[in-house]
Amino acid sequence: MSCEEKIDFQKALDHQSQTSGNNKKAIVSHYLYSNKDIADLYKERTIEITKEIYEVIYPNQKISFEIAESKLQHVFF
């Protein structure tokens, strides 16, 4: 994953969190920085958020949950 793609993801996540008044960024943060038991509660929603963001970044590509999970790991790890 390119540095540019990571930046695009971060910008999209920031933008969605600011404009819609939602808590997507908080959910992703809880998933990434909590211990395993807590993180498991946020995993599915975090993957859904990642999928939504990549569908915005790449509107002509079909993004599956498996692809979104893979992208999530490349963005933050």
Residue 63 has pLDDT above 80, yes or no: yes
Q: Read out DSSP for the chain?
A: --HHHHHHHHHHHHHHHHHS---HHHHHHHHHHS-HHHHHHHHHHHHHHHHHHHHHHSTTS---HHHHHHHHHHHH-
pLDDT tens per residue, range 5-57: 666 777 777 776 665 557 787 888 778 777 778 788 888 988 998 898 888 88
Can you give the pLDDT at residue 6? 65
Confidence of residue 60 (pLDDT cuts 50, 70, 90): very high
Domain ranges within the chain, ordered by starting residue: 3-76
